[in-house]
Amino acid sequence: MRPTGIALIAIYHFLAAAFLVFLAIALGVGGSVLGAMFGAGQSPLLGGMGFLVGVLGAAFLLVFACIAALAGYGVWTLREWGRILCIVLAAISILFSLPGLLFHLHFGFLLGGYRIIKVALQVLIVWYLVQPQIVALFRPAAPALPRM
């Protein structure tokens, strides 16, 4: 049976993947609508750019959704690569969140509080996944030695 922390980390990554898919769909549809709006006006070039930005942004988000889903699956099935991928994703998230936390905290408690919670959650994920008893769960069992 997997520990609750492992299940929560996997669910977190599955929810992140679902949210990224939702954002990709919204960006693709929004880019298409924006492209149609600009294309109906004087500049068809801007219409094509809006559509292109929407499609490329959606593709970019779908790639990250696949990575998040893969990390969730890897942790859920107790694969070592899944644990490492979750640690790498958390470290990247921390690296991208820290500048915003350090330089934009003055925007208010809501934005600063969100960033603090996000960084704390990522640090907690890394800390949890490097605990010796958790690392041991991800190690493959040694094959049984044949009896002589």
State pLDDT tens for residues 14-52.
999 999 999 999 888 877 776 666 666 666 665 566 677
Range of the domain at 30: 4-138
- The pTM (predicted TM-score) of the whole model is 0.80
Question: Within a domain: residue 146?
Answer: no
Average pLDDT over residues 101-110: 62
pLDDT digit string (tens) for 53-73? 778 888 999 999 999 999 999
pLDDT of residue 99: 78
pLDDT of residue 116: 83
Paired tokens of 26: 């919204």
Which percentage of the chain shows pLDDT scores above 70?
78
pLDDT of residue 47: 57
pLDDT of residue 65: 97
Question: Within a domain: residue 123?
Answer: yes
Say how many CA atoms lie within 13 Å of 89 toward its Cβ. 27
Three-class SS of residue 106?
Answer: helix
Question: Within a domain: residue 143?
Answer: no
Reported as type and span, the H/E element at residue 42 is: none
Closest CA to 68 of 114, 23, 135: 23
Residue 104 per-residue DSSP state: S
Give dist(CA 72, CA 74) in Å, integer: 5
Question: Within a domain: residue 97?
Answer: yes
Is residue 94 pLDDT above 70, yes or no?
A: yes
Question: Within a domain: residue 13?
Answer: yes
pLDDT: which is higher, 118 or 108: 118
pLDDT of residue 105: 56
Token pair 């960084």 is at which residue? 119
Closest CA to 69 of 20, 120, 121: 20
Give dist(CA 50, CA 36) in Å, integer: 8
Question: Within a domain: residue 23?
Answer: yes
Question: Within a domain: residue 147?
Answer: no
The structural domain count of the chain equals 1
